[in-house]
């Protein structure tokens, strides 16, 4: 049995608990039994004395008190002495023994309540209690029985009980540990398949273990989703790396073998190589950016800046699309919009959203960019015409390569990671963002930035 196993620990703690309980019983019942017994008898005689003071004229009640509590009572007045149950074995109140009379006198003179003494008649330990009223004295006497025999009997019984409890502790610990071990071992065995297949953990009817099963079932599902995402990401990144590399090689071989003497054709080939190299560079940078953001290694540098000026600067990069590809990029911006954010990161968000709009716009090649002033914030919207996004797909478009899982194609710009980077940056800024889309009409990606105060 392993020392850190449930079975061992259950056995150890049950035996320890049993030993502690028995040790407490030993101390209370054996070592301090005589002390508790004396305190009980003193309390009992005090209780009877208080009852007699209340009912001192009721001889019948006093007689009952004496018999019921196995003590004798003596009431002395100026005219008479009345004894109750003085024939009780061990009672010395009816005796005229000088030593006893001296004890009684001392109690009255010294105004003590009681004393413990050995009876001169029987040599048994006794309690003598005295009450002084206006014209009478009341004495109560009871013996303190020898409890050594009782103590010895209890000691022997406790020894047997110790052995019985140890055996019961072992049996109970084995039962409990087996009851706990079986579902735990089942969970452990199923846990070994985590990451390899979709595992469902069955209920055990133990609240804590059932909660663990629920957590592990969710973890198993998430691990499988992550594994599928990893495989898809690897496939898509490999595709995006392979495509420009193939293009670079093809045009390099063409420039070497066919166009090495034709300057114009050779320059065209080199321009394609440069363009594909830039694509590779963008892909690697996007992967690195996403990795930094997701691992919290990218710290925001919050500053105040003019968002409109920044957007106008970004739009200059798209002049070639307007001129050569006839894209219709329409802007609706205020004169100025001061915000507080990480300028470089928000610029990356706007750049990626514009790229996404250009990639998916319809045949009219319309892309709209607007900044709308609200009460305490600015609403930034990037709109494109085209097919639109289904309602059930809106939460999925932020996933890396989501669209490419259905229909992988080369983007006009970007790497396929753009919207994932957008989501991570906006989450870090605690921005409100979302998608408004109408099928076969338009799609608008929007987010909000707080105004600079």
pLDDT in tens, 113-154: 888 888 888 888 889 999 888 788 899 998 887 666 676 777
3-state helix vs strand vs coil in the chain, percent to 5: 55, 15, 25
pLDDT 10s digits, 408-444: 333 444 556 778 888 988 998 999 999 999 999 999 9
- How do strand 125-132 and strand 114-118 relate by DSSP bridges? antiparallel
Torsion over CA: 23, 24, 29, 30 (sign): positive
Q: Is domain 207-291 given the CATH code 3.40.109.10 in the classification?
A: no
Mean pLDDT of 15-31: 76
The torsion angle over the Cα atoms of residues 108, 112, 113 and 118, rounded to 10 degrees, is -90
Q: Which residues contact 97 (CB under 8 A, 6 or more apart)?
A: 120, 121
The torsion angle over the Cα atoms of residues 63, 69, 70 and 73, rounded to 10 degrees, is -40
Cβ contact 406:369 at 8 Å: no
Q: Would you say residue 292 has pLDDT above 50? A: yes
Domain spans of the chain, in order of start: 6-30+150-191, 32-146, 207-291, 299-450
Cβ burial of 74 (10 Å; 0-12, 13-18, 19+) is buried
- How do strand 328-332 and strand 366-373 relate by DSSP bridges? parallel
Residue with tokens 């054996």: 30
* Per-residue b or e along 338-374, where b marks 16 or more CB atoms closer than 10 Å to that residue's CB: ebebbbebbbbbbbbbbbbbbbbbeeebbbbbbbeee
Residue with tokens 């703690």: 13
Q: Would you say residue 268 has pLDDT above 90? A: no
Cβ contact 77:136 at 8 Å: yes
35 Cα distance to chain centroid: 49
Q: Which residues contact 322 (CB under 8 A, 6 or more apart)?
A: 328, 329
Cβ contact 385:442 at 8 Å: yes
Question: CA triplet 90, 92, 97: central angle to 5 degrees?
Answer: 135
pLDDT at res. 79: 84
How many CB atoms are closer than 10 A to CB 150? 15
Please name every residue paired with 114 in a beta bridge, in sequence order, or none if there are none: 129
With both helix axes pointing from N to C terminus, report the angle between 207-257 and 263-294 in degrees, rounded to the nearest 10.
Answer: 170
Residue with the bigger pLDDT between 324 and 347: it is 347
Give the predicted TM-score (pTM) of the model: 0.47
Tokens linked to 312: 């106008």
Q: What is the third-level CATH fold of 299-450?
A: Heat Shock Protein 90 (3.30.565)
Among 223, 181, 187, 182, which residue's Cα sits nearest to residue 202? Answer: 187
Q: Is 187 in a helix, a strand, or coil? A: helix
pLDDT at res. 58: 84
Q: pLDDT band for 92, please (50, 70, 90 cuts).
A: confident
- Residue 81 CA to residue 91 CA, distance in Å, equals 16
Q: Domain 32-146 belongs to what architecture?
A: 2-Layer Sandwich (3.30)
Residue with the bigger pLDDT between 191 and 380: it is 380
pLDDT at res. 408: 38
Give 451's DSSP letter. Answer: B
Tokens linked to 132: 């002084």
pLDDT at res. 199: 74
Give 78's DSSP letter. Answer: S
Among 125, 161, 122, which residue's Cα sits nearest to residue 26? Answer: 161
């Amino acid at each position: 049995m392993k020392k850190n196993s449930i079975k061992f620990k259950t056995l150890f703690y049950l035996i320890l608990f049993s030993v502690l309980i028995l040790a407490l019983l030993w101390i209370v019942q054996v070592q301090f039994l005589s002390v508790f017994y004396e305190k009980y008898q003193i309390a009992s005689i005090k209780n009877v004395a208080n009852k007699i003071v209340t009912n001192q004229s009721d001889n019948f009640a006093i007689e009952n008190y004496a018999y019921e509590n196995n003590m004798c009572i003596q009431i002395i007045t100026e005219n008479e002495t009345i004894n109750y149950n003085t024939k009780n074995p061990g009672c010395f109140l009816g005796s005229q023994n000088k030593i006893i009379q001296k004890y009684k006198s001392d109690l009255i003179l010294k105004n003590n309540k009681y004393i413990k003494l050995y009876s001169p008649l029987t040599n048994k330990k006794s309690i003598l209690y005295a009450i002084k009223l206006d014209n009478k004295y009341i004495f109560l006497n009871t013996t303190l029985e020898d409890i050594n025999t009782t103590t010895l009997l209890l000691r022997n019984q406790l020894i047997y009980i110790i052995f019985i409890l140890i055996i019961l502790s072992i049996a109970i610990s084995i039962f409990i540990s087996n009851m706990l071990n079986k579902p735990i071992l089942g969970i452990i065995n199923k846990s070994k398949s985590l990451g390899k297949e979709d595992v469902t953990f069955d209920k055990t009817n133990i609240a804590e273990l059932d909660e663990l099963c629920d957590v592990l079932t969710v973890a198993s599902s998430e691990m499988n989703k992550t594994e599928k995402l990893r495989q898809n990401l690897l496939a898509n990144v490999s595709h995006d790396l392979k495509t420009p590399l193939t293009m670079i090689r093809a045009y390099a071989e063409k420039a070497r073998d066919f166009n090495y003497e034709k300057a114009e054709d050779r320059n065209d080939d080199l321009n394609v190589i440069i363009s594909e190299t830039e694509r590779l560079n963008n892909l690697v940078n996007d992967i690195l950016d996403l990795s930094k953001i997701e691992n919290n290694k990218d710290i925001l540098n919050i500053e105040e800046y003019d968002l409109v000026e920044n957007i106008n600067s970004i739009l200059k990069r798209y002049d070639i699309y307007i001129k050569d590809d006839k894209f219709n990029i329409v802007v609706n911006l205020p004169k100025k919009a001061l915000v507080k954010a990480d300028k470089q990161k928000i610029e990356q968000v706007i750049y990626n959203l514009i790229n996404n709009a250009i990639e998916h716009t319809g045949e009219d090649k319309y892309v709209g960019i607007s900044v709308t002033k609200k009460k305490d914030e600015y609403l930034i919207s990037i709109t494109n015409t085209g097919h639109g996004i289904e309602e059930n797909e809106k939460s999925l478009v932020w996933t890396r390569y989501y669209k490419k899982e259905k229909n992988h194609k080369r983007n006009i710009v970007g790497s396929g990671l753009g919207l994932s980077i957008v989501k991570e940056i906006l989450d870090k800024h605690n921005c409100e963002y979302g998608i408004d889309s109408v099928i076969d009409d338009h799609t608008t990606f929007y987010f909000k930035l707080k105004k600079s105060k």
